[in-house]
Chains A and B, each alone.
Chain A
Amino acid sequence: MTAITATSENGVRTSAFARLREALRGDDALTTAWGAVIVFVTPALLTYAAFTAYPVIRTFWNSVHIIRPGGRTEFVGLDHYVELFSNDDIFFRAVSNTLTWAGVAPLIDVGVGLLLALCLYAKVPFARVFRVAWFTPVLISYVVVAILWMWIYNYDWGVANMLLRSVGLQEWQQTWIGHPDTALWSLIFAHAWKWAGFNMVVCLAAIHALPREVLEAAELDNCGWFQKLIFIIVPMIRPTLVNLLILAFIGKMRVFDLVWIMTGGGPMWSTETVSTYVYKRAFEWNTFDLGYPSTVAAIWFIVVLCCVLGLTWLFRQRDRLEY
């Protein structure tokens, strides 16, 4: 292993770590440690600037221009924003669908994940098998999940309708992803199926990390299983649940893959999400302009950011648990 070294004023070669330690001790040393700090931080900063900061800034810049191939741009000021808010019904349809998805699906994902984790924690029979089975969908790509669920939802030979027919409920048969009333919920269900396993694993880890003495004390106090869940387990893993909810929320606000493959935003825009709409505007509307899609993306970036900050503030831990 090669240590990063430098020669100090008195000619003694010291490692960068040592110089950093020195830097933290006093002002003079701190000044001389900047070199090491820059060496360590610059690669990460450059990567962040190139692949995160620049695209975000560029999106905002694009949003006030018409962008054509070959670097041809035309400044249009806030025209795209005015058009978006005054004359774009599809955008508001997409916003409505996305907010529905982001509002409902995290609760389903985390709720189901927590229930599955509790099942495993309670050591149901074949728990090991279930743990693998429930986690497996997380490992499957969206493309495969989408195709799988398109088969399940197929009107003629899909499992969903076959089950209904087999129990005499053929009048309940649906074109699940072909009708505006059922399409969005069918996609949300498929999405929840994929992600419940991830939430299960995280919840299970959090439950296992709880101090046994607290749970045992509750049992000594004749606390029932349900009371233990409501009054001890859930409050104690609350930070984990909040983080999962926020992560799920962010994911749902950006949902694209599953929708694109299964419905393409249809029928009649009933599953259109902001992400699919941005993609359509950028690549499918027979125009090479990236300005307007950037406007949609910029607005949505602000919305997601505000929502995340709001949720974090709303769910902040006011009282620190001590155990």
Chain B
Amino acid sequence: MRQTRSWIAAAALAGATLTGAAVPAQAERELTLWSHWADHETKVAFVEKAARELESRHADVTVKITWYQKNPLYAALQSALRAGQGPDIFYLDPDRTEYIDNGLLLALDDLVNWANVFGWARSAWQHDGKTWGFPLEASTVEWYYNRGLLAQLGYEVGPPHFQLSQADFRALVEKATSEGITPIVQGVGDRPYPGAYVTHELLLKKLGKDDYGKLLSGGLSFKDPRVLEVFGYVEDLVKAGAYPKSFSTLKLGESHYYFHTKPGGVVFPIGSWYTSRAFNPPDKGGQPDDFPLGMMNGPAMDDGACNACKTNNVAGSFVVNAATAHPELAGEFLNILATPEYGNLWLSTVLVQTGIKADTSKITGPYSDYFKTLEAVNENAEYFFGTPLQFFKGKCRETFEQVMNTGFPAGLVDAGTATDMMNDGCFTG
């Protein structure tokens, strides 16, 4: 009997020890997340809110978020994932398909409640029949403009198309230059894509969605007469002084300031995430409170196949590491985001479109007019999904960055040379 009691006591002690050991092990559950947007306060607040909500649901869970700028984030991810390390969840743009090709991502089809995500946004992350990313941020390429300067130069845009003709836009550029005003604000000092906005949006309008898609996929030559015509038109704009002298070195943040504050410019083609910087207070790099912000569509090309076309792009997204030890937790975190409440919260605080289903009519406050204008400008739009960077890889991507993004709009190469170089890098016949 005594021996039995001893065994029971020993078993109880062992059980208590094991239980005791198990509790701290659970308490140590940590979901790690690496994200871009270190300097985007509203996005940081949005993601942190979701993290705290997950923690409030599970007392034993901690969500550890590390904030980066985009380039250092990608460098860190490349090293960590190669070594079989890396966070449970991380930020990724849909053009980074090499993460899918190398089996580094977990398919999210069964983890996320896709009913609350727009189909077009989900499709940006669908490859081989699976969905690999959660499309948090979405944007259209918009042509923001300074209403005061445009009126001063004698131009006006309005419904239904909100766009100038090809000839009028060139005349606008020439007139602005003659008056010492920068016509198109753009800088490529720290980004591989803004310098190509004008060219690729005009190519889309000229070629239409199908042929433009072929061009980006290597199936249409850059020596196609319609492509040459667009490059020739953009070359004319460049020669007319369309871009700032500091175009090659002007950084993205600086180009915002250049456009809305000093020295100012007429048009600023950029993703509709313009607002995430410009709608900050002026002392944090935002536009002045009384800045007369307008929105237009890119100029209608003569004989354009689709002058209502514009690029719609899923940008900042979250993906789950294939090697994560906490796939359910990661899925739960994403499902916290995948709700109309969070969709509306994103819209009303970050002021950028999102892949989460949200209702822009519910947005009130000082920026509600902005969203009404955005809706009006996009009312008749036909979207092409994806930017060139989402299609280009390797040498083609490098050529795009150096030629279409920098050299050509900076006037360093002419249209003929630029199309030759793009063909050499991208055209597969």
Is B78 a contact partner of A283 (Cβ separation < 8 A)?
A: yes
- For residue B94, give the distance in angstroms from its CB to the closest CB of chain A: 12
Question: Is there an interface contact between B407 and A175, defined as CB atoms closer than 8 Å?
Answer: no
B248 located at the interface, meaning its Cβ lies under 8 Å from any Cβ of chain A in the complex: yes
| Identity of the chain A residue whose Cβ is nearest the Cβ of B187 in the assembled complex | A178
Q: Are B98 and A177 in contact (CB under 8 A)?
A: no
Stretch at the interface among B52-60, B287-295, B391-399: B391-399
A2 within 8 A of B: no
Question: What is the minimal beta-carbon distance from A298 to any residue of chain B, in angstroms?
Answer: 19
Q: Return the chain B residue nearest A88 by Cβ.
A: B395
Hey, which chain B residues are within 8 Å of A280, CB to CB?
398
A268-B403, A285-B393, A285-B398 given as contacts; is B249 within 8 A of A153 (CB)?
Answer: yes
Dominant secondary structure at the B interface: loop
Given contacts A150-B249, A179-B410, A267-B402, 13 further A-B contacts (CB under 8 A): A68-B102, A70-B84, A90-B395, A155-B246, A156-B244, A175-B246, A178-B247, A179-B412, A267-B410, A268-B402, A285-B398, A287-B393, A288-B82
Assembled-state Cα–Cα distance A103/B10 (Å): 78
Judge if A111 is at the interface, Cβ distance under 8 Å.
Answer: no
CB within 8 Å for A266 and B248 given contacts A69-B82, A69-B104, A180-B412: yes
Enumerate A131-178 residues with CB–CB distance to B below 8 Å: 150, 153-156, 173, 175, 177-178
Tell me if A269 is interfacial: C-beta within 8 Å of chain B. Answer: yes
Asked whether, in the complex, the Cβ of A177 is within 8 Å of the Cβ of B248, the reply is yes
Decide: A175 near B74, CB < 8 A? Known: A267-B412, A285-B397, A288-B98: no
Q: Which of B96, B402, B410 contacts A269 (CB 8 A)?
A: B402
CB nearest neighbor in B for A292: B394
Q: Which residues of A contact B394 (CB under 8 A)?
A: 285-287
B contact residues around A150 at 8 Å (CB): 249
Would A266 and B398 count as touching, CB distance under 8 A? no
A288 touches B102 (CB 8 A): yes
The answer to whether B98 touches A175, judged by C-beta atoms less than 8 angstroms apart, is no
Q: Which residues of A contact B413 (CB under 8 A)?
A: 268
Are the C-beta atoms of A156 and B398 separated by less than 8 Å?
A: no
Complex contact A286–B84 (CB within 8 A): no
Residue B306 is within 8 A (CB to CB) of chain A in the complex:
no
Nearest-neighbour CB distance to chain B for A223, whole angstroms, equals 50
Q: Is the CB of B410 within 8 A of A286?
A: no
Contact B96 A286 (CB under 8 A): yes
Are the CB atoms of B74 and A283 closer together than 8 Å? yes
- With a CB–CB cut-off of 8 A, which chain B residues contact A283? 74-75, 78
B245 interfacial contact with A, CB 8 Å: yes
| Interface residues contributed by chain B, number (CB under 8 Å) | 33
User: How many angstroms between the C-alpha atoms of A173 and B246 in the bound complex?
Assistant: 11
Q: Which residues of B contact A70 (CB under 8 A)?
A: 84, 102-103
Q: Given A90-B398, A155-B249, answer yes or no on A286-B406 (Cβ-Cβ < 8 Å).
A: no
* Alpha-carbon gap, A192 to B401, bound state (A): 29
Q: How many angstroms between the C-alpha atoms of A61 and B74 in the bound complex?
A: 26
Mask: chain B, 238-254; 1 = CB below 8 Å from A; 0 = not: 00000011111100000
CA distance A267 to B245 in the complex (A): 14
Q: Which residues of B lie under 8 Å from residue A282 when comparing CB positions?
A: 78
Contacts of A179 in B (CB 8 A): 248, 410, 412
Choose one: A68, A69, A268; the contact of B412 (CB below 8 Å). Answer: A268
Which residue on chain A has the smallest CB distance to residue B251? Answer: A150
Quote the shortest CB–CB distance from A319 to chain B (angstroms): 51
Query: Shortest beta-carbon distance, A323 to chain B, in Å?
Result: 53
**For B248, what are the chain A residues with a Cβ–Cβ distance below 8 Å?**
175, 177-179, 266-267
Closest Cβ of chain B to A65, distance in Å, is 14
Give the contacting residue for A69; candidates B95, B102, B246; CB below 8 A: B102
B269 to chain A: closest CB distance in Å? 20
Within 8 A of A (CB), among B380-429: 393-395, 397-398, 401-403, 406-407, 410, 412-413
- Sample of 25 A–B contacts (CB below 8 Å): A69-B103, A69-B104, A150-B249, A153-B249, A156-B263, A173-B245, A175-B247, A175-B249, A177-B248, A178-B246, A178-B247, A179-B248, A179-B412, A267-B248, A267-B402, A268-B412, A268-B413, A283-B74, A283-B78, A285-B394, A285-B397, A286-B98, A286-B394, A288-B78, A288-B102
A contact residues around B82 at 8 Å (CB): 69, 288, 290
| Bound CA span A286–B248, Å | 23
Q: How far is the CB of A205 from chain B (nearest CB, A)?
A: 39
Could you give, for residues 32-74 of chain A, a 1 whenever the CB lies within 8 Å of some chain B CB and a 0 otherwise?
Answer: 0000000000000000000000000000000000001110000
Bound together, the chains give a CA A266 to CA B412 distance in angstroms of: 12
A52 to B401 CA separation, bound complex (whole angstroms): 35
Contacts of A68 in B (CB 8 A): 102
Closest-by-CB residue of A relative to B83 is: A69
B81 at the interface (CB under 8 A from A): yes
User: Shortest CB–CB separation between residue A2 and chain B, in angstroms?
Assistant: 38
Within 8 Å by CB of B406, from A268, A285, A287, A290, lies: A268
Contact B249 A268, beta carbon cutoff 8 Å: no
- Smallest CB–CB gap between B127 and chain A, Å? 14
| Complex interface: chain A residues within 8 A of B75 (CB) | 283
Residues of chain B with a CB closer than 8 A to A69's CB: 81-82, 84, 102-104
Closest CB of chain A to B398's CB: distance in Å?
A: 7
B329 to chain A, nearest CB (A): 23
At the interface, yes or no: B261 with Cβ under 8 Å from chain A? no
A173 to B104 Cα, complex, angstroms:
49
Q: Give B47-87 interface residues, CB cut-off 8 Å to A.
A: 74-75, 78, 81-82, 84
Q: Which 7 A-B pairs have the closest CB atoms?
A: A178-B248, A155-B246, A268-B407, A286-B393, A178-B249, A286-B98, A69-B82
**Cβ-neighbour of A156 out of B74, B103, B245 (below 8 A):** B245
> Could you say which residues of chain B place their CB within 8 Å of the CB of A154?
246, 249
Give min CB distance, A17 to chain B, whole Å. 43
B97 CB within 8 Å of chain A: yes
A69 CA / B402 CA spacing, docked (Å): 28
CA distance A270 to B74 in the complex (A): 25
Complex interface: chain B residues within 8 A of A177 (CB): 248-249
